[in-house]
Amino acid sequence: MTATISAPQEAKTQNDTNQFLTFQLAGEEYGLDILTVQEIRGFVPATRIPNSPDHVTGVLNLRGTIVPLYDLRKMFNLPECDYDQFAAIVVVNIGSRVIGLVVDRVSEVIAASTSDIQPSPDLGHSACQDAIRGILRHEEHLVILLDAVSLLEDDDSNLNLAA
Amino acid sequence: MDFDTSDLKQLFFEESDEFVELMESSLLELEHDPTNADTLAQIFRSAHSIKGGSGSLGMNEVMMFTHALETLLDQLRKGAMTADSDIIAMLLECVDHLRDLLDAARNDTSSPSSAALLARLEIIIDGGKIGQEKEVDEETFRKQVWEAVAAAQAEEAGETPKPAEPVVKPPSTLKPAFDEDAFRKEVWAAVAEAEADDAVKAAAQAPDKSLDELDKLMDEAAPAKPVVSEPVHDPAPHPTAVAAQADDPKKAAHAAEKGENQVLRISADKVDKLINLVGELVIHQSMLIDAAGPSPTPALASAVSAISQATRELQEKVLAVRMLPIKQLFGRFPRVVRDLGRSCGKQVNLETSGEETELDKMVIEGLADPLTHLIRNSVDHGLETPADRTAVGKPEFGTVSLRARHESGNIILEVADDGKGLDREKILKKAIDNGMVGADDQLTDEQIYSLIYQPGFSTAKVVSDVSGRGVGMDIVLQAIRTLGGSITVSSRPGFGTTFRIKLPLTMAIVEGLTVKVGNELYVMPLTNIVECIKPNTSDIHMLAGQGEMLNLRQSCLPVTRLATMFGVPTEVTDYKDGVLVIVEDGSRRAALLVDELIGQNQVVVKSLETNYGNVAAFAGATILGDGKVALIIDIASLPVLATGGTAYAVAA
């Protein structure tokens, strides 16, 4: 199942308007730069990789390519949950790497200018600090913006294996 | 215009690389048969083709150099001179230099100076002997070469050569302090006189034009007609265009020669994409078979069967597209052996067989370095000096043989020498000294020889430039592993050593055995599987608390439970309830316990590395008939194989 991406609600000046795909994770709203999102799929079980780190759920077959699936809840040390029919996999494409991220549910696509993004407070946990690009206020709620590239770099466990 | 030229340039470089290779191998053949007319003609034609192409693309350094080379080659092919070993050595140097010039042109870096070589060539052409080289004034020499080039082009254009008056008049204003810029301006001016194109003529004669602009004008004057695989037709009476035109009859002859086996240039990318698609087809076709169910209608059954057949054939053919004869890999070794033999002071004969054996292109590329290393080792360490050889009654010439053949779905490559063989005692002593092995350990010959694959291991007394640093054999082993193959060595003291490399025919598709562990499926490459047995509990012994061992006929093999290794919960805990798969890598064997065997099929290997990374113990993944991913086990890297039956670690 792939979701269609609807048009953004606001349109500001061309230069600094970015679009973000927002999704839910443990009751909080997160966002990813739409340019990094390749597609959205319904949740399918992945093939486990033996002796892999906890947050690596496994690998999937995406039209013939092997794509690793990461569990964001585990990456951010959030409590586990059983995924229901709304759970989805956000397929992210960065450079030449394609990865999948498991989310509770996908929300919508919003537009915001870079000036709306506030830096996130430093809560002292360096592990995922870099992965957070900033905080966005959108229609009365907060969206925590993630930086896809840092997410991958933070995950140094298997990248070291690749090195 | 830029686009066109770059396409042409690309083609030129590809073809020139081939011509240079051909020149080199022909020169080596010439050493054995100096008067062979065909070989001489071949070398001449190669140089001539490079000259023509470089000229029409404005690569002056290359053109000038090949022109001088061609002059000497012409003498040789006409029989005016005979190619003795000194001349051939010089020509080989020239080929190396030509490679450097081509590289410089390709990467747009500054070309190395051809002056010294050109000077020596000139002397030989004039009938002098090698060694008579004297100091030559570079500028004067370059002027002479320009003259010669112009004269030759005039000749080719059909004008009667007037030795006293070359088309390009030597600059009358040559001053003692040579001004290259002024000289080049004069040349262009003289050329402009010959130009029919008035615009160019006027422009070239303008005294304030910079040389770059002049060069550009010349390029523009030659209408670019990029017809990729035909000789370039260039009607403008442009000096280098003239050369190209004159080349046509020769190029046509060359093309006709090639026409016998029509060759297409295809980018590797396109082929890879094709192979991917065919892989998809294979997967979907097997899904189709599954979906047809146990009792399909006759119509469905026959359609599915026809599709399977066609898919299988398509797969074979497409994979074959990527296969190239190993000949091109073997081609570089005569030179390596020759140079090495000379520098080691040994007489070496290189024998090759099975050059037509075809391998996947990727595999050929991956083999270049390991094979080179093995051959260098053979020459440097294996073969004895001529004196030592005659002392033991061997012929002075040592032989290194390279053999390739197909054998039951694999490629077997052998690098053998008839030298002194591996010194078992020396290796053992070195290993004991290095603490790799205990002094009292019982080791078979095979195991001792395998010690040479350890990093840093070398019993060479003298670390030569060539080898002996001890970093070679472990890299060779790694490279062969990466290609999915294995290597074994056998040796007879006094008689020689043979390295035997076994490789799968292709890395893209693997014949695999699907096994079940817990509720997960894994695939094991068939090439690593020896047999599968249903063991009795009594066949397994616990070895002093260190691990489990299988007693199988005459040997004892280490055993490992895949369920434990992969952390998979399973109900099969007793050996008699499962299946033991006996696997091997090279000469080491082990037994793996799985729950059950599912089936044997061809699987398409998909990369784990592209999006995830390298995973220990797995060589990749594949997609099963139901669309799910299954991991392919990399047998060679399993830790259990590291303990080859005894308690120490051999090459892991």
- Using only the alpha carbons of chain A, give its radius of gyration: 16
Stretch A77-81: mean pLDDT, rounded? Answer: 84
Residue A21: pLDDT over 60: yes
What's the CA gap between B61 and B99, in Å, rounded? 12
Q: Where are the alpha helices (DSSP H) in B222-357?
A: 239-259, 268-292, 298-321, 327-330, 333-344
Interface contact A17, partner B, CB < 8 A: no
Among B118, B176, B175, which Cα is nearest to B144's? B118
**How many residues does the structure list for chain A?**
163
Would you call B607 and A66 a contact, using CB atoms and an 8 Å cutoff?
yes
Is the CB of residue B131 less than 8 Å from the CB of residue B90?
no
Distance in angstroms between the alpha carbons of the first and the last residue of chain A? 34
Among B145, B220, B238, B134, which Cα is nearest to B183's? B145
pLDDT band at residue A90 using 50, 70 and 90 as cut-offs = very high
Is the CB of residue A20 less than 8 Å from the CB of residue A145?
yes
Among B95, B101, B119, which Cα is nearest to B20's? B95
* Phi/psi of residue B592, nearest 5 degrees: -115, 135
Residue A24's DSSP bridge partners are: A29, A105
Among B336, B640, B364, B636, which Cα is nearest to B487's? B636
Q: Which of B565, B567, B611 sits opposite A68 (nearest CB)?
A: B611
What's the CA gap between A132 and A120, in Å, rounded? 7
State the amino acid at position A78 in one-letter form. Answer: L
Is the CB of residue B410 less than 8 Å from the CB of residue B507?
no
What pLDDT does A131 receive?
81
Would you call B606 and A66 a contact, using CB atoms and an 8 Å cutoff?
yes
Of A40-49, A69-78, B12-21, B185-194, give the lowest mean pLDDT range: B185-194
Is the CB of residue B275 less than 8 Å from the CB of residue B315?
no
Stretch A117-123: mean pLDDT, rounded? Answer: 81
What's the CA gap between B247 and A140, in Å, rounded? 77
Q: How close A26 comes to chain B (CA, Å)?
A: 26
What pLDDT does B499 receive?
92
Neighboring chain B residues of A99 at a CB cutoff of 8 Å = 611-612
What's the CA gap between B192 and B116, in Å, rounded? 30
Neighboring chain A residues of B621 at a CB cutoff of 8 Å = 47, 59, 66
What's the CA gap between B117 and A31, in Å, rounded? 66
- Provide the angle, in degrees to the nearest 10, between the axes of the packed helices B180-194 and B138-156: 10
Would you call B566 and A50 a contact, using CB atoms and an 8 Å cutoff?
yes
Helix H or strand E encompassing B566: helix B562-566
Helix (H, G, I), strand (E, B) or coil at A148: helix
Q: Which domains does chain A have, with CATH numbers?
A: 17-162 (2.40.50.180)
User: Which residues contact residue B216 at a Cβ distance below 8 angstroms, ignoring those fewer than 6 apart?
Assistant: none
Neighboring chain A residues of B607 at a CB cutoff of 8 Å = 66
Helix H or strand E encompassing B476: helix B472-482
Q: Where are the alpha helices (DSSP H) in chain A?
A: 72-75, 126-129, 148-154, 156-162
Is the CB of residue A37 less than 8 Å from the CB of residue B577?
no
Among B414, B419, B423, B421, which Cα is nearest to B397's? B419
Among B565, B581, B572, which Cα is nearest to B523's? B581
Interface contact B613, partner A, CB < 8 A: yes
Stretch A40-52: mean pLDDT, rounded? Answer: 90
> In Å, what is the CA distance from A75 to each residue of A54, A58, A100, A149, A153?
8, 14, 13, 14, 12
Residue in chain B nearest A93 by alpha carbon: B611
What's the CA gap between B70 and B43, in Å, rounded? 9
Residues of chain B where predicted confidence (pLDDT) is lower than 50: 1-3, 132-135, 159-178, 195-197, 199-201, 203-204, 207-209, 211, 214, 217-218, 221-259, 466, 470, 644-652
Kindly tell me the burial class for residue B388, based on how many C-beta atoms sit within 10 Å of its own C-beta (0-12, 13-18, 19 or more).
middle
Neighboring chain B residues of A60 at a CB cutoff of 8 Å = 629
> In Å, what is the CA distance from B607 to each residue of A62, B78, B601?
13, 56, 18
Stretch A119-138: mean pLDDT, rounded? Answer: 77
Would you call B520 and A47 a contact, using CB atoms and an 8 Å cutoff?
yes
In this structure, the strands spanning B588-594 and B555-561 are parallel
CA dihedral B468, B471, B472, B478 (to 10 degrees): 160
What's the CA gap between B649 and B453, in Å, rounded? 12
- Extract the tokens encoding B28: 């080596």
- Which runs of E-coded beta strand occur in B398-445? 398-407, 410-417
Q: In the sheet where B486-492 sits, what is the strand order?
A: B348-353, B398-407, B410-417, B496-504, B486-492
Q: Which of A47, A52, A99 sits opposite B611 (nearest CB)?
A: A99
In this structure, the strands spanning A88-94 and A97-103 are antiparallel
pLDDT band at residue A58 using 50, 70 and 90 as cut-offs = very high
Would you call A65 and B611 a contact, using CB atoms and an 8 Å cutoff?
yes
Is the CB of residue B245 less than 8 Å from the CB of residue B237?
no
Neighboring chain A residues of B630 at a CB cutoff of 8 Å = 47
Stretch A103-118: mean pLDDT, rounded? Answer: 88
Is the CB of residue B87 less than 8 Å from the CB of residue B124?
yes
Q: How close A96 comes to chain B (CA, Å)?
A: 8
What's the CA gap between B131 and B129, in Å, rounded? 6
Residue B124's DSSP bridge partners are: none
What's the CA gap between B106 and B229, in Å, rounded? 20
**Residues of chain A by 3-state class (helix, strand, coil), percent to 5:** 15, 45, 35
What pLDDT does B631 receive?
94
pTM of structure: 0.56
What pLDDT does A37 receive?
93
Is the CB of residue B514 less than 8 Å from the CB of residue B580?
no
The model's pLDDT over B339-365, given as tens digits with 9 standing for 90+, comes to: 888 888 888 989 999 988 888 877 888
Stretch A64-85: mean pLDDT, rounded? Answer: 86
- Provide the angle, in degrees to the nearest 10, between the axes of the packed helices B85-107 and B2-32: 160
What pLDDT does B580 receive?
94
Among B396, B19, B330, which Cα is nearest to B27's? B19
Q: How many CB atoms lie within 10 A of CB A51?
A: 11
Interface contact A65, partner B, CB < 8 A: yes
* Phi/psi of residue B314, nearest 5 degrees: -60, -45
Q: How close B624 comes to chain A (CA, Å)?
A: 10
Is the CB of residue A92 less than 8 Å from the CB of residue A106?
no
Residue A118's DSSP bridge partners are: A135
Q: What is the mean pLDDT of chain A?
A: 80
A145: left (phi over 0), alpha (psi -120 to 50) or beta: beta
What pLDDT does B287 receive?
79
Among B300, B361, B335, which Cα is nearest to B506's? B361
What's the CA gap between B93 and B97, in Å, rounded? 6
Helix (H, G, I), strand (E, B) or coil at B508: coil
Neighboring chain B residues of A98 at a CB cutoff of 8 Å = 610-611
DSSP codes, B30-96: HHH-TT-HHHHHHHHHHHHHHHHHHHHTT-HHHHHHHHHHHHHHHHHHHTSS---HHHHHHHHHHHH
Binding-face residues of B in 252-311 toward A, CB within 8 A: 276, 279-280, 283
Predicted-complex ipTM score: 0.79
